[in-house]
């Protein structure tokens, strides 16, 4: 209900133009964010849709915007991203999933992997090869896929190191997509995908700054004298060296928030996030991993216990943090983006 109310008034995504948002500028958006937090109102997190919406605004048709954006902002449509493949992870443009044009639309055949929310998503964004003879970055097209109604889609959960199955393999066996499933121009999917990936890195980094357990680590460390039953780390369990490490992490988080503000302002001003999003993701991934490591370390033996309570949460957070160097683009790819597009170094 809260998300629906926010969507109806434009506050679900105030930076979007009317009728989807308020057309708010950067200063207005910061004011909305600050006032919302002060009142205990959390603006809705659209998850993967946060990456999809800007790309549909920039490259989608009027019909696609009208069909998908209002429902997405209300929370009625959930999305997944169908980009990575077994042989095209870091080098996404090497993907092999094929899209063949037919009288009915497009026939999709191939496999995707590391797809979050594939089992629950209503729709997916798919990158497929429509011209096998074109250079690898040129023969790609960006599609919208109905994950619930399309025949020929198979989904297999992947069990992760945490024991959960957030990611999935997705198989396309001659799946028919209608002609209007294409976003942008046929063969120009790489341009649209780069826009989506830039938005993904901004979103991931934005969530990481203090949403890493750092605030809880600071607060709980001051509240108790040692590890407690609910998983807190008390002041008595923290020596001076560890306190200094927590302080450095807090200072680092504030610095990262300032770095991220530049990229966020680019996005909310209607400009593509650009390579700055890669810088932000790189440094914040390392930051989140350091927070998870310190939390587990301060718990001592309790951190090795995979049972309900402190140890389980700390262990899960530590294990989950390891995947951040892969999710949203591997560290190696981000370094290449920074080297080529910011430092001007030759392509690797």
Q: Which CATH number is associated with domain 79-186?
A: 2.40.110.10
Lowest-pLDDT choice from 23-27, 90-94, 243-247, 340-344: 23-27
**Range list for CATH 2.40.110.10 in the chain:** 79-186
pLDDT greater at residue 98 or residue 3: 98
Lowest-pLDDT choice from 219-233, 245-259, 280-294: 219-233
pLDDT greater at residue 321 or residue 27: 321
The answer on pLDDT for 209 being more than 50 is: no
| Number of Cβ atoms within 10 Å of the Cβ of 205 | 29
Q: Summarize the confidence of residues 154-161 as an average pLDDT.
A: 93
pLDDT for 223 equals 63
CA angle at 142 for the pair 137 and 145, rounded to the nearest 5°: 145
Q: Summarize the confidence of residues 223-240 as an average pLDDT.
A: 53
pLDDT for 264 equals 66
Q: Summarize the confidence of residues 67-82 as an average pLDDT.
A: 95
pLDDT digit string (tens) for 91-114?
Answer: 888 999 999 999 999 999 999 999
* Mean of per-residue pLDDT scores for the chain: 84
Tell me the two tokens of residue 237: 């369990």
Whether 339 contacts 348, CB under 8 Å: yes
pTM score: 0.75
Q: Are strands 167-177 and 106-112 parallel, antiparallel or unpaired?
A: antiparallel
**Range list for CATH 1.20.140.10 in the chain:** 209-225+235-343
pLDDT digit string (tens) for 160-193?
Answer: 888 888 899 999 999 999 999 999 999 999 999 9
The answer on pLDDT for 323 being more than 80 is: yes
Annotation says 293 is catalytic: no
Q: Summarize the confidence of residues 150-163 as an average pLDDT.
A: 93
Q: How confident is the model at residue 210 (pLDDT cuts 50, 70, 90)?
A: very low
Q: For the chain, what percent of residues have pLDDT higher than 90?
A: 40
Q: How many CA atoms lie within 13 A of 330 on its CB side?
A: 10
pLDDT digit string (tens) for 36-55?
Answer: 878 877 766 678 888 899 99
Selecting among 63, 87, 200, 340, the annotated active-site residue is 200
**Domain 209-225+235-343 sits in CATH 1.10.287.1260:** no
pLDDT greater at residue 120 or residue 231: 120
3-state DSSP of 162-218: CCCCCEEEEEEEEEEECHHHEECCCCEHHHHHHHHHHHHHHHHHHHHCCCCCHHHHH
Query: CA-CA distance, 15 to 4, in Å (whole number)?
Result: 17
Lowest-pLDDT choice from 133-137, 265-269, 311-315: 265-269
């Amino acid at each position: 209900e809260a998300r629906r109310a926010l969507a109806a008034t434009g506050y679900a995504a105030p930076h979007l133009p009317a009728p989807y948002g308020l057309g708010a500028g950067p200063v207005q958006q910061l004011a909305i964010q600050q006032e919302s937090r002060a009142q205990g109102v959390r603006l809705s997190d659209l998850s993967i849709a946060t990456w999809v919406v800007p790309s549909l605004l920039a490259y989608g048709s009027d019909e696609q915007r009208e069909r998908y954006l209002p429902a997405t902002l209300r929370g009625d449509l959930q999305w997944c991203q169908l980009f990575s493949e077994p042989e095209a992870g870091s080098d996404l443009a090497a993907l092999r999933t094929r899209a063949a044009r037919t009288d009915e639309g497009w026939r999709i055949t191939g496999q995707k992997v590391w797809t979050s929310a594939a089992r629950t998503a209503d729709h997916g964004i798919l990158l497929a090869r429509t011209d096998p003879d074109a250079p690898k970055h040129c023969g790609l097209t960006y599609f919208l896929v109905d994950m619930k109604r399309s025949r020929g889609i198979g989904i297999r959960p992947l069990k992760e190191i945490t024991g959960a199955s957030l990611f999935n393999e997705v198989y396309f066996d001659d799946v028919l997509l209608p002609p209007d499933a294409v976003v942008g121009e046929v063969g120009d999917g790489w341009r649209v995908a780069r826009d989506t990936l830039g938005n993904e890195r901004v979103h991931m980094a934005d969530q990481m700054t203090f949403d890493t357990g750092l605030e809880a680590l600071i607060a709980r460390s001051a509240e108790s004298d040692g590890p407690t039953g609910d998983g807190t780390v008390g002041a008595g369990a923290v020596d001076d060296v560890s306190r200094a490490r927590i302080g450095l992490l807090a200072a680092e988080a504030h610095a990262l928030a300032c770095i991220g503000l530049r990229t966020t302002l680019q996005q909310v001003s209607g400009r593509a996030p650009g390579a700055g999003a890669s810088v932000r993701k790189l440094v914040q991934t390392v930051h989140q991993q350091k927070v998870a490591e310190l939390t587990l370390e301060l718990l001592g033996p309790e951190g090795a216990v995979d049972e309900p309570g402190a140890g389980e949460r700390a262990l899960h957070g530590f294990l989950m943090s390891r995947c951040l160097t892969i999710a949203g683009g591997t560290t190696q790819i981000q370094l290449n983006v920074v080297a080529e597009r910011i430092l001007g170094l030759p392509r690797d």
